[in-house]
Amino acid sequence: MTRTVFTGVQVFDGTGRDPFPAEVLVEGNRITAVKDRVMRVGARVIDGGGGTLLPGLVDAHAHLGFGSTVEHRSRRRDEPDEEKALLVAHAGRVLLDHGITSAYSGGNRLPRTETAARKAFAEGWMPGPRLKAASWEGSAGMVEPGVYDFPGIDGRASDPESVSRFVTDMAELGVDIVKLSLSGESAVVHGTSRIVQFTDEEVAAASRAADHHGVWLTAHAHAAESIKMAVRHGIRAIYHCTFADEETLDLLEAARDRLFVAPTPGIIHANLHETDSEPEPGMEVEATAEAVREVVPELVRRGVRVVPGGDYGFAWNPVGRNLRDLELFVDWFGFTPAEALRAATLHGGRIMGMGDELGLVREGFLADLVLVDGDPLEDIAILQDRRRLAAIMKDGVLHKAPA
């Protein structure tokens, strides 16, 4: 069994408590000791030089298959399937290079690529994060064969039976998550974020099918009514939550122990500042930013688990930039750096469904660790510089080791 010891580090354990000096022993794929001094016999020793050791970071809204990373930009959406598969594999390696050791997928263009990547990453013969694989995205409209046209805004869902069949088909492909675009998306099809694309009966049918097949549902939901629908039907992860009104906030609060909200500041920031073209009014870019900056602090105040993950994968918001979400959690939502990190680790482990063994630097937990050259509690933005990530370990294996 391989043994690795991290010495000379301040441990941020993921709970949110202050970092403390300790040595961390990894044996096989588990953390087996976190204490003042551990046995070094037969171990590879990594001296952190006073840096910070974090739990591996979790992205709760990852798109491995959208085509763009910090190393490769693609504006196409019509690559042949083989190329789409390679893009997913490529994005997995880029995520891991940037300290993302777990990714909860926010949807794909070709779901079997994510299930294949999940296996390859888990078996360790391709570099990539732990992955919860998602279905292709869509409105109810896209459950009809051939209607698929991301994000499938048609303002009109199909019928409960075909929605149920869509969930079943996706479950049979082996995905962990089925994503439903309950609202539209103004950034893609102007003026549609406030449109609800499903009926209550359709979401109820999706929920029953998901329970039956043991898959999770994720909702893309900007409009208040779409968020309410997601909560009513027990949807576990809700993206955006932009236009939540008072009644919606009350519902979210009442369900806070069974759901997660990922408000995706990354894509909003990119839409505001990093597109080639001026945002058009129908995109509601400013309105979205304003609303989300009001809603998220209120959700946090009410104890809702808010997790980072900013829809990275588009050419103007590429994979690899993911940890900018943590900076935006601080700047936009008033998190402390420790709270932002806790959201990406403790809550990250929980959204992965692995809260009892993932997301903390703790004896018995899986050895996903990131050694940072510096103190991210002082400056959370240093995490976006991959050169400052001195070591990256996933499942006890060093993806990156100090020189």
Q: Closer to Zn ion at the Cβ: 154 or 311? A: 311
To Zn ion, the closest distance from the beta carbon of 156 in angstroms equals 22
Q: Closer to Zn ion at the Cβ: 309 or 376? A: 309
To Zn ion, the closest distance from the beta carbon of 137 in angstroms equals 7
Stretch that binds Zn ion, among 68-76, 102-110, 140-148, 193-201 (CB under 5 A): 102-110
The residue behind tokens 């204490």 is 35
Burial of 67 (C-beta count, 10 Å sphere; 0-12/13-18/19+): buried
To Zn ion, the closest distance from the beta carbon of 185 in angstroms equals 9
Cβ atoms within 10 Å of 112's Cβ, excluding its own: 17
Which of the residues 297 through 316 are near Zn ion (CB under 5 A)? Answer: 311
What's the gap between Cα 161 and its chain centre?
A: 30
Q: Closer to Zn ion at the Cβ: 176 or 311? A: 311
Structure tokens at 88: 């997913």
Stretch that binds Zn ion, among 103-111, 138-146, 282-290, 381-389 (CB under 5 A): 103-111
To Zn ion, the closest distance from the beta carbon of 264 in angstroms equals 7
Q: Closer to Zn ion at the Cβ: 29 or 74? A: 74
**Total residues binding Zn ion (CB under 5 A):** 2
Stretch that binds Zn ion, among 67-75, 99-107, 283-291, 367-375 (CB under 5 A): 99-107
The residue behind tokens 């993921």 is 14
Q: Closer to Zn ion at the Cβ: 103 or 366? A: 103
Q: Closer to Zn ion at the Cβ: 222 or 399? A: 222
106 forms part of the interface with Zn ion (CB under 5 A): yes
CA atoms of 130 and 122, how far apart (whole Å): 6
Structure tokens at 194: 């406030």
Stretch that binds Zn ion, among 101-109, 208-216, 278-286, 296-304 (CB under 5 A): 101-109
Which of the residues 334 through 393 are near Zn ion (CB under 5 A)? Answer: none
Q: What is the 3-state secondary structure (H, E, C) of 171-240?
A: HHHCCCEEEEECECCCCCCCCCCCCECCCHHHHHHHHHHHHHHCCEEEEEECCHHHHHHHHHCCCCEEEE
**List of residues 6+ apart from 160 with CB closer than 8 A:** 199, 201, 202, 204, 205
Identify whether the C-beta of residue 310 lies closer than 8 Å to the C-beta of residue 326: no
To Zn ion, the closest distance from the beta carbon of 271 in angstroms equals 12
Q: In terms of DSSP bridges, do strands 369-372 and 44-55 run parallel, antiparallel, or are they unpaired? A: antiparallel
Q: Closer to Zn ion at the Cβ: 141 or 310? A: 310
Residue numbers at the binding site for Zn ion (CB under 5 A): 106, 311
